Chains A and B, each alone.
Chain A
Protein backbone atom coordinates (compact mmCIF):
# COMPACT_ATOMS: atom_id res chain seq x y z
CA UNK A 1 0.00 0.00 0.00
CA UNK A 2 1.18 3.49 -0.74
CA UNK A 3 2.02 5.57 2.29
CA UNK A 4 0.09 8.81 2.67
CA UNK A 5 0.44 11.49 5.27
CA UNK A 6 -2.64 12.24 7.30
CA UNK A 7 -3.23 15.45 5.38
CA UNK A 8 -2.76 13.77 1.99
CA UNK A 9 -5.17 11.03 2.98
CA UNK A 10 -7.74 13.56 4.16
CA UNK A 11 -7.68 15.36 0.84
CA UNK A 12 -7.96 12.09 -1.05
CA UNK A 13 -10.87 10.75 0.98
CA UNK A 14 -12.75 14.00 0.59
CA UNK A 15 -12.48 13.55 -3.16
CA UNK A 16 -14.02 10.08 -2.96
CA UNK A 17 -17.75 9.50 -2.96
CA UNK A 18 -19.34 7.07 -0.52
CA UNK A 19 -22.97 7.08 -1.60
CA UNK A 20 -24.40 5.70 1.65
CA UNK A 21 -22.24 7.62 4.10
CA UNK A 22 -24.06 9.70 6.70
CA UNK A 23 -22.86 11.83 9.59
CA UNK A 24 -21.34 9.79 12.38
CA UNK A 25 -20.15 6.93 10.15
CA UNK A 26 -16.50 6.01 9.86
CA UNK A 27 -14.34 4.74 7.06
CA UNK A 28 -10.77 3.59 6.62
CA UNK A 29 -8.96 4.69 3.46
CA UNK A 30 -5.33 5.22 2.50
CA UNK A 31 -4.19 3.82 5.82
CA UNK A 32 -6.11 6.35 7.93
CA UNK A 33 -9.50 6.55 9.69
CA UNK A 34 -12.10 9.20 9.07
CA UNK A 35 -15.48 10.15 10.48
CA UNK A 36 -18.17 12.09 8.67
CA UNK A 37 -19.09 15.24 10.52
CA UNK A 38 -21.30 17.95 9.06
CA UNK A 39 -21.28 16.07 5.76
CA UNK A 40 -17.51 16.15 5.50
CA UNK A 41 -14.82 13.60 6.32
CA UNK A 42 -12.57 14.46 9.25
CA UNK A 43 -9.74 12.55 10.89
CA UNK A 44 -10.54 10.25 13.74
CA UNK A 45 -8.65 7.79 15.89
CA UNK A 46 -8.13 4.25 14.65
CA UNK A 47 -11.26 2.22 15.24
CA UNK A 48 -10.99 -1.48 16.10
CA UNK A 49 -13.26 -3.85 14.22
Chain B
Protein backbone atom coordinates (compact mmCIF):
# COMPACT_ATOMS: atom_id res chain seq x y z
CA UNK B 1 0.00 0.00 0.00
CA UNK B 2 1.43 3.33 -1.02
CA UNK B 3 2.11 5.77 1.78
CA UNK B 4 4.07 8.94 2.37
CA UNK B 5 5.42 10.12 5.69
CA UNK B 6 5.95 13.77 6.52
CA UNK B 7 7.36 13.84 10.02
CA UNK B 8 4.78 11.85 11.96
CA UNK B 9 2.04 12.31 9.36
CA UNK B 10 1.07 9.21 7.40
CA UNK B 11 -1.17 9.42 4.36
CA UNK B 12 -2.58 6.27 2.81
CA UNK B 13 -5.18 6.35 0.06
CA UNK B 14 -7.07 9.46 1.21
CA UNK B 15 -6.64 8.54 4.88
CA UNK B 16 -4.38 10.39 7.29
CA UNK B 17 -2.69 9.32 10.49
CA UNK B 18 -0.88 11.74 12.78
CA UNK B 19 1.73 9.94 14.86
CA UNK B 20 0.32 6.59 13.80
CA UNK B 21 -0.86 4.75 10.71
CA UNK B 22 -4.52 5.46 9.85
CA UNK B 23 -6.91 3.22 11.75
CA UNK B 24 -9.01 0.86 9.66
CA UNK B 25 -12.02 2.54 8.08
CA UNK B 26 -11.16 6.04 9.31
CA UNK B 27 -10.20 9.21 7.48
CA UNK B 28 -8.19 10.79 10.30
CA UNK B 29 -6.39 9.04 13.15
CA UNK B 30 -4.47 10.63 16.02
CA UNK B 31 -2.22 8.39 18.07
CA UNK B 32 1.18 6.99 18.79
CA UNK B 33 3.26 5.41 21.51
CA UNK B 34 4.27 8.42 23.59
CA UNK B 35 2.30 8.70 26.82
CA UNK B 36 -0.49 11.07 27.83
CA UNK B 37 -1.19 13.25 24.82
CA UNK B 38 -0.60 11.23 21.67
CA UNK B 39 -4.31 10.99 20.84
CA UNK B 40 -5.44 14.52 21.59
CA UNK B 41 -7.50 16.85 19.43
CA UNK B 42 -7.65 20.54 20.31
CA UNK B 43 -10.02 23.28 19.19
CA UNK B 44 -8.23 26.56 19.79
CA UNK B 45 -10.08 29.73 18.82
CA UNK B 46 -7.67 32.60 19.33
CA UNK B 47 -10.03 35.48 18.63
CA UNK B 48 -11.84 37.60 21.24
CA UNK B 49 -14.03 35.31 23.33
CA UNK B 50 -12.56 32.30 21.58
CA UNK B 51 -12.92 28.97 23.35
CA UNK B 52 -10.47 26.18 23.94
CA UNK B 53 -11.92 22.68 23.93
CA UNK B 54 -10.21 19.30 23.78
CA UNK B 55 -11.06 15.66 23.26
CA UNK B 56 -8.66 12.81 23.77
CA UNK B 57 -8.08 9.14 24.56
CA UNK B 58 -6.45 8.54 27.95
CA UNK B 59 -3.90 6.00 29.09
CA UNK B 60 -2.43 4.85 32.41
CA UNK B 61 -0.90 8.28 33.08
CA UNK B 62 -4.26 10.05 33.43
CA UNK B 63 -5.71 10.67 36.88
CA UNK B 64 -9.12 10.81 35.18
CA UNK B 65 -8.57 7.11 34.53
CA UNK B 66 -7.15 4.89 31.84
CA UNK B 67 -9.05 3.70 28.79
CA UNK B 68 -11.35 6.70 28.62
CA UNK B 69 -12.45 9.17 26.01
CA UNK B 70 -12.70 12.58 27.65
CA UNK B 71 -13.80 16.00 26.51
CA UNK B 72 -13.30 19.25 28.33
CA UNK B 73 -12.52 22.92 28.14
CA UNK B 74 -9.21 24.71 28.64
CA UNK B 75 -5.92 22.91 28.30
CA UNK B 76 -6.04 19.10 28.08
CA UNK B 77 -5.95 17.76 31.64
CA UNK B 78 -7.93 15.50 33.95
CA UNK B 79 -9.04 18.48 36.04
CA UNK B 80 -10.50 20.15 32.94
CA UNK B 81 -12.49 17.10 31.90
CA UNK B 82 -16.22 17.71 31.46
CA UNK B 83 -17.48 14.50 29.86
CA UNK B 84 -16.00 11.02 30.07
CA UNK B 85 -16.84 7.74 28.31
CA UNK B 86 -15.11 4.65 29.62
CA UNK B 87 -14.15 1.47 27.81
CA UNK B 88 -17.44 -0.17 28.73
CA UNK B 89 -19.46 2.69 27.23
CA UNK B 90 -20.51 4.28 30.51
CA UNK B 91 -20.87 8.05 30.27
CA UNK B 92 -19.99 10.28 33.19
CA UNK B 93 -20.46 14.02 33.60
CA UNK B 94 -17.23 14.96 35.30
CA UNK B 95 -18.28 18.46 36.32
CA UNK B 96 -21.51 20.35 36.86
CA UNK B 97 -24.89 18.88 36.06
CA UNK B 98 -26.29 17.15 33.05
CA UNK B 99 -28.57 19.58 31.29
CA UNK B 100 -30.92 18.37 28.59
CA UNK B 101 -33.29 20.56 26.60
CA UNK B 102 -33.80 24.27 26.34
CA UNK B 103 -35.83 24.74 29.52
CA UNK B 104 -38.51 26.70 27.69
CA UNK B 105 -42.13 26.71 28.76
CA UNK B 106 -44.25 24.06 27.04
CA UNK B 107 -41.99 22.94 24.24
CA UNK B 108 -43.54 20.39 21.91
CA UNK B 109 -41.63 17.50 20.38
CA UNK B 110 -39.47 14.89 22.05
CA UNK B 111 -38.39 16.49 25.34
CA UNK B 112 -36.98 15.29 28.61
CA UNK B 113 -34.69 12.38 29.34
CA UNK B 114 -35.47 8.76 28.62
CA UNK B 115 -34.23 6.30 31.23
CA UNK B 116 -35.15 2.76 30.28
CA UNK B 117 -38.85 2.90 29.42
CA UNK B 118 -39.59 6.15 31.27
CA UNK B 119 -39.26 9.69 29.93
CA UNK B 120 -38.72 12.22 32.69
CA UNK B 121 -39.98 15.75 32.13
CA UNK B 122 -41.71 14.50 29.01
CA UNK B 123 -43.60 17.82 28.98
CA UNK B 124 -43.61 20.87 31.21
CA UNK B 125 -46.03 23.77 31.34
CA UNK B 126 -46.20 26.91 33.44
CA UNK B 127 -48.21 29.98 32.47
CA UNK B 128 -51.42 31.87 33.17
CA UNK B 129 -53.08 31.31 29.83
CA UNK B 130 -56.63 31.61 31.16
CA UNK B 131 -59.11 28.83 31.91
CA UNK B 132 -58.46 25.70 33.90
CA UNK B 133 -58.06 22.76 31.56
CA UNK B 134 -54.80 22.00 29.85
CA UNK B 135 -55.27 19.78 26.81
CA UNK B 136 -52.09 17.99 25.77
CA UNK B 137 -52.26 16.36 22.37
CA UNK B 138 -49.77 13.55 21.87
CA UNK B 139 -48.78 11.64 18.75
CA UNK B 140 -49.73 8.34 20.43
CA UNK B 141 -52.29 6.47 18.37
CA UNK B 142 -55.46 5.70 20.27
CA UNK B 143 -55.96 2.68 18.05
CA UNK B 144 -59.43 3.42 16.75
CA UNK B 145 -59.20 1.13 13.75
CA UNK B 146 -55.87 -0.61 14.27
CA UNK B 147 -53.50 -0.93 17.19
CA UNK B 148 -50.20 0.33 15.91
CA UNK B 149 -49.03 1.70 19.25
CA UNK B 150 -50.58 -0.14 22.20
CA UNK B 151 -49.09 0.81 25.57
CA UNK B 152 -49.69 0.49 29.25
CA UNK B 153 -49.12 4.18 29.91
CA UNK B 154 -48.80 6.13 33.12
CA UNK B 155 -48.48 9.89 33.11
CA UNK B 156 -47.18 11.34 36.39
CA UNK B 157 -47.88 15.04 36.85
CA UNK B 158 -46.02 17.02 39.49
CA UNK B 159 -46.13 20.72 40.20
CA UNK B 160 -47.27 23.71 42.21
CA UNK B 161 -49.73 26.56 41.87
CA UNK B 162 -49.93 29.95 43.56
CA UNK B 163 -53.15 28.79 45.16
CA UNK B 164 -50.77 27.10 47.61
CA UNK B 165 -51.42 23.78 45.96
CA UNK B 166 -49.05 20.92 45.37
CA UNK B 167 -49.72 18.69 42.38
CA UNK B 168 -48.88 15.01 42.44
CA UNK B 169 -51.30 13.25 40.15
CA UNK B 170 -51.26 10.21 37.91
CA UNK B 171 -53.41 8.87 35.15
CA UNK B 172 -52.80 5.39 33.78
CA UNK B 173 -54.53 3.43 31.03
CA UNK B 174 -54.19 0.90 28.23
CA UNK B 175 -54.79 2.47 24.82
CA UNK B 176 -56.53 -0.13 22.67
CA UNK B 177 -59.03 0.14 19.85
CA UNK B 178 -59.84 3.76 20.60
CA UNK B 179 -60.42 3.40 24.32
CA UNK B 180 -58.38 4.15 27.44
CA UNK B 181 -59.05 0.79 29.09
CA UNK B 182 -58.76 0.19 32.82
CA UNK B 183 -58.11 3.87 33.43
CA UNK B 184 -57.09 5.03 36.90
CA UNK B 185 -56.91 8.55 38.28
CA UNK B 186 -54.91 9.36 41.38
CA UNK B 187 -54.49 12.79 42.98
CA UNK B 188 -52.00 12.63 45.83
CA UNK B 189 -51.19 16.34 46.12
CA UNK B 190 -53.31 19.03 47.74
CA UNK B 191 -54.80 19.66 44.28
CA UNK B 192 -57.36 16.87 44.21
CA UNK B 193 -58.92 17.24 40.76
CA UNK B 194 -55.98 17.51 38.36
CA UNK B 195 -57.00 14.25 36.73
CA UNK B 196 -60.55 12.97 36.86
CA UNK B 197 -63.03 10.65 35.22
CA UNK B 198 -65.00 13.83 34.45
CA UNK B 199 -62.40 14.71 31.83
CA UNK B 200 -60.71 11.50 30.72
CA UNK B 201 -58.07 11.21 28.02
CA UNK B 202 -59.84 11.32 24.66
CA UNK B 203 -59.09 10.65 21.02
CA UNK B 204 -58.43 13.59 18.74
CA UNK B 205 -60.12 13.88 15.37
CA UNK B 206 -57.05 12.27 13.83
CA UNK B 207 -56.95 9.44 16.34
CA UNK B 208 -54.29 10.58 18.81
CA UNK B 209 -54.39 10.46 22.61
CA UNK B 210 -55.17 13.79 24.26
CA UNK B 211 -54.66 14.27 28.00
CA UNK B 212 -56.79 16.74 29.96
CA UNK B 213 -55.48 18.24 33.20
CA UNK B 214 -57.27 20.65 35.49
CA UNK B 215 -54.36 22.77 36.72
CA UNK B 216 -56.25 26.01 37.28
CA UNK B 217 -55.03 29.44 36.28
CA UNK B 218 -53.22 30.76 39.32
CA UNK B 219 -49.58 30.49 38.26
CA UNK B 220 -49.71 26.75 37.65
CA UNK B 221 -46.54 24.86 36.80
CA UNK B 222 -46.32 21.17 36.07
CA UNK B 223 -43.76 18.66 34.89
CA UNK B 224 -45.00 15.37 33.44
CA UNK B 225 -43.18 12.04 33.27
CA UNK B 226 -44.35 9.28 30.92
CA UNK B 227 -43.93 5.68 32.03
CA UNK B 228 -44.58 2.68 29.77
CA UNK B 229 -42.86 -0.11 31.64
CA UNK B 230 -44.91 -2.96 30.22
CA UNK B 231 -43.09 -4.95 27.56
CA UNK B 232 -45.02 -3.86 24.48
CA UNK B 233 -42.92 -2.29 21.76
CA UNK B 234 -41.61 1.05 23.04
CA UNK B 235 -43.38 4.09 21.60
CA UNK B 236 -41.42 7.34 21.59
CA UNK B 237 -44.40 9.53 22.39
CA UNK B 238 -44.16 13.29 22.01
CA UNK B 239 -46.43 16.28 22.56
CA UNK B 240 -47.62 17.66 19.24
CA UNK B 241 -49.84 20.49 20.55
CA UNK B 242 -51.37 21.90 23.71
CA UNK B 243 -53.91 24.52 24.71
CA UNK B 244 -55.60 25.88 27.77
CA UNK B 245 -59.38 26.06 27.59
CA UNK B 246 -62.61 26.03 29.56
CA UNK B 247 -63.67 22.88 27.72
CA UNK B 248 -63.10 19.45 29.16
CA UNK B 249 -63.25 17.59 25.85
CA UNK B 250 -63.02 17.87 22.09
CA UNK B 251 -60.41 20.60 21.68
CA UNK B 252 -58.40 18.50 19.22
Query: Are A19 and B181 closer than 8 Å at their CB atoms?
Result: yes
Known: A1-B233, A25-B177, A49-B141. A18 touches B146 (CB 8 A): no
Q: What DSSP secondary structure best describes chain B's contact surface?
A: loop
A19 to B141, CA, bound (A): 18
Interface size on A, residues (CB 8 A): 15
Query: Are A18 and B150 closer than 8 Å at their CB atoms?
Result: yes
Cβ of B232 within 8 Å of any chain A Cβ, yes or no, is yes
A30 to B179, CA, bound (A): 22
Query: Are A30 and B176 closer than 8 Å at their CB atoms?
Result: no
Interface residues of B in 160-195 (CB under 8 A from A): 174, 176-177, 179, 181-182
Query: Are B146 and A47 closer than 8 Å at their CB atoms?
Result: yes
Query: Are A28 and B181 closer than 8 Å at their CB atoms?
Result: no
Query: Are A18 and B141 closer than 8 Å at their CB atoms?
Result: no
- Looking across the interface, which residue of chain A has its beta carbon closest to that of B152? A19
Hey, which chain A residues are within 8 Å of B182, CB to CB? 19
Pick the contact of A29 from B176, B207, B233 — CB < 8 Å?
A: B233
Interface size on B, residues (CB 8 A): 18
Hey, which chain B residues are within 8 Å of A28, CB to CB? 146-149, 233
Query: Are B233 and A30 closer than 8 Å at their CB atoms?
Result: yes
Looking at the assembled complex, report how far the CB atom of A20 sits from the nearest CB atom of chain B, in whole angstroms.
5
Cβ of B231 within 8 Å of any chain A Cβ, yes or no, is yes
Most B C-beta atoms less than 10 A away, residue of A1, A30, A49: A49
Pick the contact of A21 from B149, B176, B207, B233 — CB < 8 Å?
A: B176
* Binary interface encoding of chain A residues 26-37 relative to chain B, with 1 for a CB under 8 A from any of its CBs, else 0: 111111000000
Hey, which chain A residues are within 8 Å of B179, CB to CB? 20
Task: Identify 28 residue pairs between A and B in the complex whose beta-carbon atoms are under 8 Å apart, listed by A's number.
Answer: A1-B234, A16-B231, A16-B232, A18-B176, A19-B174, A19-B181, A20-B174, A20-B176, A20-B177, A21-B147, A25-B177, A26-B146, A26-B147, A27-B148, A27-B150, A28-B146, A28-B147, A28-B149, A29-B232, A29-B233, A30-B233, A31-B233, A47-B146, A47-B148, A49-B141, A49-B146, A49-B148, A49-B207
Interface residues, chain A, with chain B CB atoms under 8 Å away: 1, 16, 18-21, 25-31, 47, 49
Sorted nearest first, the 10 A-B pairs with minimum C-beta distance are A27-B147, A28-B148, A20-B176, A47-B146, A26-B146, A29-B233, A20-B181, A30-B233, A27-B150, A49-B148
Given contacts A18-B150, A27-B146, 19 further A-B contacts (CB under 8 A): A1-B233, A16-B232, A18-B147, A18-B176, A19-B174, A19-B181, A19-B182, A20-B174, A20-B177, A21-B176, A26-B146, A27-B148, A28-B147, A28-B148, A28-B149, A31-B233, A47-B148, A49-B145, A49-B146
